[in-house]
Amino acid sequence: MTQLSLNSRDSQLNHVFVMSTDEYTTVRLPKELMDEIDQIIKHGTMGYKSRAELVKEAIRDKLKTIPQTPEPPQPMLEHFNLSEHGVRILDRTLANGMSRGKIIDVYFKPEGVWCDYCQTSSCRHIQFALTVPTIQEVIIKKRREGWKLP
């Protein structure tokens, strides 16, 4: 914390203002740039009353023009949920204006694996499911029980 004391001759009161140094930081700027800023303030150009006011607005305006860092791309297919009966997979390629993807149900049955969305026993959802280690564990267990799984 930084404390600033002001003495008032008229009222003989001390005023103490407490400012957290955690909320602000200092930036050093070249003198010639500050001279230009001071001239703008001196002439009242655009109504600026202080260096800080002008600099904050200039920085905010500049930040608006800089593209934001994009989020890292998400995988097209993602393991969503798993049970003894099957797996749910989030397919982001099936996104629309209402959702970020569609949940696809892939079922484990004694006679094989079935994708409810594709209505087949061989599709990219099943191929993806077979690469996920936790799903592989369930499939191995079911094979030991005599199920005909890939």
**Residues 6 or more apart in contact with residue 58 via CB below 8 angstroms:** none
Strand partners, 91: 77, 102
Last residue of a domain, one of 65, 88, 118: 65
Assigned domain for 122 exists:
yes
CB 149 within 8 A of CB 108: yes
Residue 55 and residue 105 share a domain: no
pLDDT band at 26, cuts 50/70/90? confident
Q: Are residues 82 and 123 in the same domain?
A: yes
What does the pLDDT read at residue 20? 59
pLDDT in tens, 132-148: 999 999 889 989 999 88
In a domain, 11, yes or no: yes
User: What's the pTM value of the predicted model, to 2 decimals?
Assistant: 0.53
Domain that holds residue 13: 2-65
